[in-house]
Protein backbone atom coordinates (compact mmCIF):
# COMPACT_ATOMS: atom_id res chain seq x y z
CA UNK A 1 0.00 0.00 0.00
CA UNK A 2 1.26 3.44 -0.90
CA UNK A 3 1.82 5.75 2.06
CA UNK A 4 0.61 9.33 1.89
CA UNK A 5 4.14 10.73 2.07
CA UNK A 6 5.02 8.73 -1.06
CA UNK A 7 2.42 10.51 -3.17
CA UNK A 8 3.63 13.30 -5.39
CA UNK A 9 2.03 16.68 -4.75
CA UNK A 10 -0.58 18.15 -7.06
CA UNK A 11 1.01 20.86 -9.27
CA UNK A 12 0.49 24.40 -8.00
CA UNK A 13 -1.06 25.46 -11.31
CA UNK A 14 -3.69 22.68 -11.30
CA UNK A 15 -7.13 24.32 -11.46
CA UNK A 16 -9.81 21.64 -11.41
CA UNK A 17 -9.24 20.17 -7.95
CA UNK A 18 -11.96 19.38 -5.43
CA UNK A 19 -11.94 20.58 -2.72
CA UNK A 20 -10.16 23.76 -3.79
CA UNK A 21 -6.54 23.72 -2.71
CA UNK A 22 -6.48 20.02 -1.87
CA UNK A 23 -3.10 18.31 -1.72
CA UNK A 24 -2.51 14.70 -0.59
CA UNK A 25 0.42 15.90 1.50
CA UNK A 26 -1.79 18.36 3.42
CA UNK A 27 -5.35 17.04 3.05
CA UNK A 28 -8.49 18.92 3.93
CA UNK A 29 -9.65 17.81 7.36
CA UNK A 30 -13.36 17.74 6.73
CA UNK A 31 -16.13 18.43 4.23
CA UNK A 32 -19.34 19.90 5.53
CA UNK A 33 -21.34 20.78 2.41
CA UNK A 34 -20.79 24.53 2.15
CA UNK A 35 -19.61 23.99 -1.44
CA UNK A 36 -23.26 23.27 -2.25
CA UNK A 37 -24.23 26.61 -0.72
CA UNK A 38 -21.73 28.49 -2.87
CA UNK A 39 -22.90 26.59 -5.95
CA UNK A 40 -26.52 27.51 -5.18
CA UNK A 41 -25.65 31.17 -4.72
CA UNK A 42 -23.59 31.13 -7.91
CA UNK A 43 -26.45 29.68 -9.94
CA UNK A 44 -24.73 26.45 -10.98
CA UNK A 45 -26.59 23.69 -12.77
CA UNK A 46 -27.12 20.76 -10.36
CA UNK A 47 -25.64 17.37 -11.06
CA UNK A 48 -27.13 14.07 -9.99
CA UNK A 49 -26.19 10.55 -9.06
CA UNK A 50 -26.99 7.73 -11.46
CA UNK A 51 -26.80 4.06 -10.59
CA UNK A 52 -24.51 1.95 -12.81
CA UNK A 53 -26.18 -0.38 -15.26
CA UNK A 54 -25.36 -3.55 -13.32
CA UNK A 55 -27.17 -2.14 -10.27
CA UNK A 56 -30.16 -1.11 -12.38
CA UNK A 57 -30.37 -4.61 -13.82
CA UNK A 58 -30.18 -6.11 -10.34
CA UNK A 59 -32.90 -3.75 -9.04
CA UNK A 60 -35.17 -4.55 -11.98
CA UNK A 61 -34.78 -8.26 -11.23
CA UNK A 62 -35.39 -7.71 -7.51
CA UNK A 63 -38.76 -5.96 -8.01
CA UNK A 64 -40.17 -8.65 -10.34
CA UNK A 65 -41.39 -10.44 -7.18
CA UNK A 66 -44.04 -7.73 -6.86
CA UNK A 67 -45.61 -8.62 -10.24
CA UNK A 68 -45.76 -5.13 -11.70
CA UNK A 69 -46.67 -3.22 -8.55
CA UNK A 70 -44.81 0.08 -8.16
CA UNK A 71 -42.72 0.31 -5.02
CA UNK A 72 -42.59 3.04 -2.36
CA UNK A 73 -39.55 3.06 -0.08
CA UNK A 74 -38.89 4.09 3.49
CA UNK A 75 -35.26 4.40 4.58
CA UNK A 76 -34.71 3.96 8.31
CA UNK A 77 -32.02 5.05 10.73
CA UNK A 78 -31.97 2.76 13.75
CA UNK A 79 -28.63 3.48 15.40
CA UNK A 80 -28.94 5.55 18.59
CA UNK A 81 -25.77 7.61 18.10
CA UNK A 82 -26.44 11.33 17.47
CA UNK A 83 -30.15 10.90 18.08
CA UNK A 84 -30.61 12.42 21.53
CA UNK A 85 -34.06 13.90 20.94
CA UNK A 86 -35.17 10.94 18.76
CA UNK A 87 -35.72 13.24 15.78
CA UNK A 88 -34.30 10.57 13.46
CA UNK A 89 -36.40 7.66 14.76
CA UNK A 90 -39.45 6.74 12.70
CA UNK A 91 -42.95 6.35 14.12
CA UNK A 92 -43.56 2.69 13.27
CA UNK A 93 -47.31 2.84 13.95
CA UNK A 94 -47.81 5.73 11.54
CA UNK A 95 -45.81 4.05 8.80
CA UNK A 96 -47.53 0.69 9.30
CA UNK A 97 -50.89 2.37 8.76
CA UNK A 98 -49.61 4.14 5.65
CA UNK A 99 -48.17 0.91 4.27
CA UNK A 100 -51.54 -0.79 4.76
CA UNK A 101 -53.11 2.03 2.72
CA UNK A 102 -50.48 1.64 -0.01
CA UNK A 103 -51.20 -2.05 -0.40
CA UNK A 104 -54.92 -1.34 -0.75
CA UNK A 105 -54.20 0.96 -3.72
CA UNK A 106 -51.81 -1.56 -5.29
CA UNK A 107 -48.41 -0.16 -4.27
CA UNK A 108 -45.70 -2.22 -2.61
CA UNK A 109 -43.97 -0.71 0.46
CA UNK A 110 -40.23 -1.49 0.71
CA UNK A 111 -38.10 -0.74 3.78
CA UNK A 112 -34.33 -0.20 3.75
CA UNK A 113 -32.92 -0.60 7.24
CA UNK A 114 -29.62 0.25 8.92
CA UNK A 115 -26.92 -2.15 7.75
CA UNK A 116 -26.42 -3.46 11.29
CA UNK A 117 -30.07 -4.59 11.47
CA UNK A 118 -30.64 -5.57 7.86
CA UNK A 119 -30.11 -9.31 8.35
CA UNK A 120 -31.50 -9.86 11.84
CA UNK A 121 -34.48 -11.76 10.48
CA UNK A 122 -36.76 -9.70 12.73
CA UNK A 123 -38.99 -7.67 10.44
CA UNK A 124 -40.52 -4.45 11.78
CA UNK A 125 -43.57 -4.13 9.51
CA UNK A 126 -46.15 -6.68 8.51
CA UNK A 127 -47.27 -4.64 5.49
CA UNK A 128 -43.82 -3.99 3.99
CA UNK A 129 -40.98 -6.01 2.48
CA UNK A 130 -37.44 -5.35 3.66
CA UNK A 131 -34.59 -4.97 1.19
CA UNK A 132 -31.37 -5.98 2.97
CA UNK A 133 -29.42 -5.94 -0.29
CA UNK A 134 -29.91 -2.19 -0.43
CA UNK A 135 -28.36 -1.86 3.02
CA UNK A 136 -25.13 -3.44 1.77
CA UNK A 137 -24.70 -1.92 -1.68
CA UNK A 138 -24.82 1.80 -2.40
CA UNK A 139 -25.21 1.32 -6.19
CA UNK A 140 -28.11 -1.09 -5.65
CA UNK A 141 -29.71 1.20 -3.06
CA UNK A 142 -29.56 4.07 -5.55
CA UNK A 143 -31.04 1.90 -8.30
CA UNK A 144 -33.95 1.00 -6.01
CA UNK A 145 -34.55 4.69 -5.30
CA UNK A 146 -34.49 5.42 -9.02
CA UNK A 147 -37.15 2.89 -9.96
CA UNK A 148 -39.42 3.62 -6.99
CA UNK A 149 -42.62 5.57 -7.31
CA UNK A 150 -41.59 7.58 -4.24
CA UNK A 151 -38.94 7.52 -1.49
CA UNK A 152 -39.42 8.58 2.13
CA UNK A 153 -36.62 9.45 4.56
CA UNK A 154 -36.17 10.85 8.04
CA UNK A 155 -32.86 12.68 8.37
CA UNK A 156 -30.36 9.89 7.77
CA UNK A 157 -27.17 9.26 5.80
CA UNK A 158 -28.68 7.77 2.61
CA UNK A 159 -30.75 10.94 2.32
CA UNK A 160 -27.78 12.41 0.43
CA UNK A 161 -28.52 10.02 -2.44
CA UNK A 162 -32.10 11.27 -2.56
CA UNK A 163 -30.93 14.88 -2.60
CA UNK A 164 -29.36 14.24 -5.99
CA UNK A 165 -31.32 11.26 -7.27
CA UNK A 166 -33.38 11.08 -10.45
CA UNK A 167 -36.66 10.43 -8.63
CA UNK A 168 -39.11 12.09 -6.28
CA UNK A 169 -38.50 11.91 -2.53
CA UNK A 170 -39.32 13.58 0.77
CA UNK A 171 -37.58 13.75 4.11
CA UNK A 172 -38.99 14.59 7.52
CA UNK A 173 -36.55 16.89 9.32
CA UNK A 174 -36.20 18.37 12.80
CA UNK A 175 -33.39 20.17 14.58
CA UNK A 176 -31.77 18.63 17.64
CA UNK A 177 -29.61 21.17 19.46
CA UNK A 178 -28.18 18.36 21.59
CA UNK A 179 -26.28 17.11 18.53
CA UNK A 180 -23.85 19.44 16.77
CA UNK A 181 -24.54 18.26 13.23
CA UNK A 182 -28.33 18.43 13.79
CA UNK A 183 -28.39 21.79 15.52
CA UNK A 184 -29.93 24.98 14.21
CA UNK A 185 -26.53 26.65 14.38
CA UNK A 186 -24.92 23.95 12.23
CA UNK A 187 -27.54 24.24 9.49
CA UNK A 188 -27.48 28.03 9.66
CA UNK A 189 -23.71 28.65 9.62
CA UNK A 190 -22.60 25.82 7.33
CA UNK A 191 -25.57 25.22 5.02
CA UNK A 192 -27.39 28.55 5.07
CA UNK A 193 -30.57 26.79 6.16
CA UNK A 194 -33.29 27.37 8.71
CA UNK A 195 -36.59 25.62 9.36
CA UNK A 196 -38.71 25.09 6.23
CA UNK A 197 -35.69 25.37 3.93
CA UNK A 198 -34.44 22.78 1.45
CA UNK A 199 -30.90 21.45 1.20
CA UNK A 200 -28.80 23.59 -1.17
CA UNK A 201 -28.73 22.52 -4.84
CA UNK A 202 -31.68 20.13 -4.47
CA UNK A 203 -34.47 20.17 -7.01
CA UNK A 204 -38.20 20.40 -6.39
CA UNK A 205 -38.45 16.63 -6.75
CA UNK A 206 -36.72 16.49 -3.32
CA UNK A 207 -38.99 17.88 -0.60
CA UNK A 208 -37.98 18.72 2.97
CA UNK A 209 -40.80 18.54 5.53
CA UNK A 210 -39.87 20.24 8.79
CA UNK A 211 -41.96 18.33 11.29
CA UNK A 212 -42.40 14.92 12.80
CA UNK A 213 -44.22 12.51 10.50
CA UNK A 214 -47.95 12.01 10.78
CA UNK A 215 -50.37 10.03 8.63
CA UNK A 216 -52.15 13.04 7.16
CA UNK A 217 -48.92 14.69 6.00
CA UNK A 218 -47.48 11.46 4.58
CA UNK A 219 -50.67 10.81 2.60
CA UNK A 220 -50.74 14.38 1.31
CA UNK A 221 -47.11 14.21 0.15
CA UNK A 222 -47.64 10.91 -1.59
CA UNK A 223 -50.86 11.82 -3.35
CA UNK A 224 -49.40 15.12 -4.58
CA UNK A 225 -46.22 13.45 -5.86
CA UNK A 226 -47.03 14.06 -9.53
CA UNK A 227 -46.73 17.84 -9.16
CA UNK A 228 -43.40 17.45 -7.34
CA UNK A 229 -41.57 15.96 -10.34
CA UNK A 230 -39.68 19.09 -11.34
CA UNK A 231 -36.09 19.59 -12.42
CA UNK A 232 -36.08 23.16 -11.16
CA UNK A 233 -34.06 24.01 -8.07
CA UNK A 234 -35.96 24.40 -4.83
CA UNK A 235 -36.73 28.07 -4.24
CA UNK A 236 -35.36 30.12 -1.39
CA UNK A 237 -37.96 29.93 1.35
CA UNK A 238 -37.82 33.66 2.10
CA UNK A 239 -35.45 36.64 2.14
CA UNK A 240 -33.79 35.44 5.34
CA UNK A 241 -32.98 32.12 3.68
CA UNK A 242 -31.36 33.97 0.78
CA UNK A 243 -29.36 36.13 3.19
CA UNK A 244 -28.15 33.09 5.15
CA UNK A 245 -27.15 31.41 1.90
CA UNK A 246 -25.17 34.46 0.78
CA UNK A 247 -23.44 34.73 4.14
CA UNK A 248 -22.21 31.13 4.00
CA UNK A 249 -21.38 31.40 0.30
CA UNK A 250 -19.26 34.53 0.72
CA UNK A 251 -17.26 32.96 3.56
CA UNK A 252 -16.66 29.85 1.45
CA UNK A 253 -15.78 31.98 -1.59
CA UNK A 254 -13.16 33.98 0.32
CA UNK A 255 -11.74 30.77 1.78
CA UNK A 256 -11.44 29.26 -1.70
CA UNK A 257 -9.58 32.32 -2.96
CA UNK A 258 -6.86 31.66 -0.39
CA UNK A 259 -6.40 28.11 -1.68
CA UNK A 260 -6.15 28.30 -5.47
CA UNK A 261 -5.88 30.68 -8.44
CA UNK A 262 -8.84 32.71 -9.66
CA UNK A 263 -11.35 30.62 -11.62
CA UNK A 264 -14.19 31.46 -13.98
CA UNK A 265 -16.65 30.31 -11.33
CA UNK A 266 -15.33 33.03 -9.03
CA UNK A 267 -16.19 35.69 -11.59
CA UNK A 268 -19.67 34.18 -11.96
CA UNK A 269 -20.20 34.45 -8.23
CA UNK A 270 -19.11 38.08 -8.14
CA UNK A 271 -21.48 38.88 -11.00
CA UNK A 272 -24.28 37.00 -9.23
CA UNK A 273 -23.73 39.11 -6.10
CA UNK A 274 -24.19 42.22 -8.22
CA UNK A 275 -27.46 40.82 -9.61
CA UNK A 276 -28.74 40.01 -6.12
CA UNK A 277 -27.85 43.45 -4.85
CA UNK A 278 -29.77 45.05 -7.70
CA UNK A 279 -32.80 42.79 -7.15
CA UNK A 280 -32.79 43.09 -3.33
CA UNK A 281 -31.37 46.48 -2.33
CA UNK A 282 -32.20 45.83 1.32
CA UNK A 283 -29.60 43.04 1.51
CA UNK A 284 -26.23 44.29 2.73
CA UNK A 285 -23.51 42.53 0.73
CA UNK A 286 -19.94 43.14 1.89
CA UNK A 287 -17.44 44.74 -0.47
CA UNK A 288 -15.48 41.67 -1.57
CA UNK A 289 -12.78 43.62 -3.38
CA UNK A 290 -12.22 45.78 -0.32
CA UNK A 291 -11.86 42.69 1.90
CA UNK A 292 -9.29 41.23 -0.50
CA UNK A 293 -7.38 44.52 -0.71
CA UNK A 294 -7.23 44.90 3.07
CA UNK A 295 -6.03 41.31 3.61
CA UNK A 296 -3.78 40.73 0.61
CA UNK A 297 -0.66 40.46 2.73
CA UNK A 298 -2.14 38.09 5.32
CA UNK A 299 -4.55 35.88 3.38
CA UNK A 300 -4.70 36.44 -0.37
CA UNK A 301 -2.24 36.41 -3.23
CA UNK A 302 -0.85 39.89 -3.74
CA UNK A 303 -2.02 39.97 -7.37
CA UNK A 304 -5.55 38.72 -6.68
CA UNK A 305 -7.10 42.16 -6.17
CA UNK A 306 -5.76 43.53 -9.44
CA UNK A 307 -6.66 40.37 -11.35
CA UNK A 308 -10.21 40.25 -10.04
CA UNK A 309 -10.77 44.00 -10.52
CA UNK A 310 -9.55 43.83 -14.10
CA UNK A 311 -11.73 40.87 -15.04
CA UNK A 312 -14.85 42.36 -13.50
CA UNK A 313 -14.61 45.57 -15.54
Q: What is the pLDDT of residue 31?
A: 72
Do residues 205 and 213 make contact, with C-beta atoms less than 8 angstroms apart? no
pLDDT at 22 over 70: yes
Q: Is the pLDDT of residue 207 over 70?
A: yes
Rounded (10°) CA dihedral 54, 47, 112, 211: -170
The CB density around residue 12, as the number of other CB atoms within 10 Å, is 8
Question: 111 Cβ partners below 8 Å, 6+ apart?
Answer: 73, 74, 75, 76, 124, 125, 128, 129, 130, 131
CATH 3.40.50.2000 boundaries in the chain? 53-228
pLDDT the model gives residue 10:
65
Q: Residue 277 and residue 154: Cα distance in Å, rounded?
A: 36
User: What gap in Å lies between CA 14 and CA 7, rounded to an integer?
Assistant: 16
The values of phi and psi at residue 217, to 5°, are -70, -40
pLDDT > 70? residue 30: no
Average pLDDT over residues 265-279: 95
For residue range 52-84, what is the model confidence (pLDDT) as tens digits?
999 999 999 999 999 999 999 999 999 999 999
Contact 139, 85 (CB under 8 A): no
Residues 281, 286, 291: CA angle, nearest 5 degrees: 155
- The CATH topology of domain 53-228 is Rossmann fold (3.40.50)
Answer yes or no: is pLDDT of 114 > 70. Answer: yes
Amino acid sequence: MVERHELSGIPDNALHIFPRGYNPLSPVADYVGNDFVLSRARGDTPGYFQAPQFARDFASQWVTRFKGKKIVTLTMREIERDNVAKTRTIDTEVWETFFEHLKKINFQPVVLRDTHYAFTGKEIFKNAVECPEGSLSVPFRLAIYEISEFNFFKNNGPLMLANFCENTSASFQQFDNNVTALSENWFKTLLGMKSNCSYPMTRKKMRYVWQNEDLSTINEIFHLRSIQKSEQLNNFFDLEHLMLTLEVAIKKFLHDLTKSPLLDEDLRFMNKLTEVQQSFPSIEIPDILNIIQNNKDQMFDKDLYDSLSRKLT
